[in-house]
Amino acid sequence: MTKHQLIGAEVSLYTGKLRCYLQYKNIPFDEVVASGEVYRDTIIPRTGVRYIPVLITDDDQALQDTTEIIDYLERRYVEAPVYPSTPFQKLIALLLEVYGDEWLVIPAMHYRWNIEENKDFAVAEFGRTSVPDASAEEQLIVGKKMSGPFAGSLPVLGVSDTNTKAIETSYLGLLKELDRHFKATPFLMGTRPCIGDFGLIGPLYAHLYRDPYSGRLMQEQAPNVVAWVNRMINPDPLTGDFLPDDQVPETLMPVLQRMFREQGPVIRSTLDRVAEWASVNADGKAEQEISRAIGSHTFTVEGAEAERLVFPYCQWMWQRPYDCYQGMNEENRTTVERRLAVLPGALELLRHPVTQRVVRKNNRLLLG
């Protein structure tokens, strides 16, 4: 029988997310390195975009975007769902996926490309991935070329000279918070990983654990996070449960507070900017493709202000917890709202109307 093929790379953040998921769910797959040739012959022609990972399914569909791939697989492999079924746990799991996928890219990229030791390692890894059969020398030359756009994306993400210290302070604070959590609880929501664990593992494994300088930092600062990373990359497939009675451990509250403090205002501004973009550029027409980035906005991490581009994709991710909250019945919503009171900014953001939806179609982001 044909197996699924995961096209990706060890060095890639989102490949890490999907690989951990496939392993936990015990889904048979072969991993194919996303070499230059594979980009040319498969990734670009089959998906129309240049992102990894790509899943070529056992019935030969080419899927891109880890969130969509996981949702597709969740429908096919129903044992041990990674979405909790109770309202508060589900909402928190979705929020933490958005945080891992869309926000922790900032420390992940900062540490990889601003710390020389990590950068040298990553360049060599890019070379090894792009031209697996070339000599080490050639791999280095290709690695430098291929990694250029990634290293160059720091300003786009908002990493600048003015906030690198703040990004590090924030990341070290997060490590401390997560360390306390994972000391008591194996995964975010109990003994089974949820979609939030898979969101967090991308940056926390592929960059912040695997890059050498960052890996040492994690070992020193947060041994319980290291233990969680190891559980995630080497799971006991299909085992474990979410905590009973819709419990969400108290130890996650500082992490969520950090999310709403740092990422919350960026999400809110993104929603407004997408609506504005649609009214200027599309006159409310549905199905118009929206650019990958639409202007820039300022944001604040640990008191340091910087500028980053506005990514409409971030809204697409946000629509998931937003829809979860908006779709709750009266009773669940009342309970959830009471529990959200300890997270400043959370309720305001979840109530902030998404006036202009965005949708994904053929790996493009369109106005809904």
Ligand X SMILES: N[C@@H](CCC(=O)N[C@@H](CS)C(=O)NCC(=O)O)C(=O)O
- Name which of 64 and 185 has its Cβ closer to ligand X: 64
Q: How far apart are CA 247 and CA 127, in angstroms?
A: 45
Which residue stretch of 9-17, 134-142, 238-246, 328-336 sits at the interface with ligand X (rule: CB under 6 A)? 9-17
**Which residue stretch of 45-53, 74-82, 336-344, 357-365 sits at the interface with ligand X (rule: CB under 6 A)?**
45-53
- Least distance to ligand X from the beta carbon of 13, Å? 4
Binding flag, residue 52, ligand X (CB under 6 A):
yes
How near is the Cβ of 344 to ligand X at its closest, in Å?
A: 28
Task: Tell which positions 63-92 bind ligand X, by CB under 6 A.
Answer: 65-67
Contact 100, 93 (CB under 8 A): no
- Binding piece for ligand X, criterion CB under 6 A, among 60-68, 129-137, 260-268, 358-366: 60-68
Of 5, 14, 84, 248, the one binding ligand X (CB under 6 A) is 14
Site for ligand X in 114-143 (CB under 6 A): none
Rounded distance, CA 333 to CA 337, Å? Answer: 6
Told to check if 35 binds ligand X by CB under 6 A, we report: no
- What CA–CA distances, in Å, run from 14 to 90, 180, 202, 289, 347? 21, 25, 5, 23, 29
In this chain, which of 23, 32, 51, 304 binds ligand X, going by CB under 6 A?
A: 51
**Cα–Cα distance list, 156 to 172, 204, 284 (Å):** 22, 21, 27
3-class secondary-structure state, position 297: strand
Spatial separation of the C-alpha atoms in residues 105 and 154, rounded to whole Å: 10
Does 159 engage in binding with ligand X (CB under 6 A)?
no
CB-nearer residue toward ligand X: 95 or 336: 95
Candidates 40, 50, 165, 338; binder of ligand X (CB under 6 A) is 50
Cα dihedral 266, 343, 102, 120 sign: positive
| Part in contact with ligand X (CB under 6 A); list of ranges 11-19, 75-83, 214-222, 236-244 | 11-19
Q: Which of 6, 7, 13, 324 binds ligand X (CB under 6 A)?
A: 13
Q: Which of residues 192-221 bind ligand X (CB under 6 A)?
A: none
> Which residues make beta-bridge pairs with 33?
8
Separation in Å, CA 262 to CA 15, 114, 130, 251, 269: 25, 21, 35, 18, 12
Q: Are strands 54-56 and 296-301 parallel, antiparallel or unpaired?
A: unpaired
Q: CA nearest 211: which of 229, 236, 197, 196?
A: 229
CA 357, 352, 297, 303 dihedral sign is negative
CB of 67 to ligand X, least distance (A): 6
Q: How far is the CB of 129 from ligand X (least distance, A)?
A: 11
Residues that bind ligand X (CB under 6 A): 12-14, 50-52, 65-67
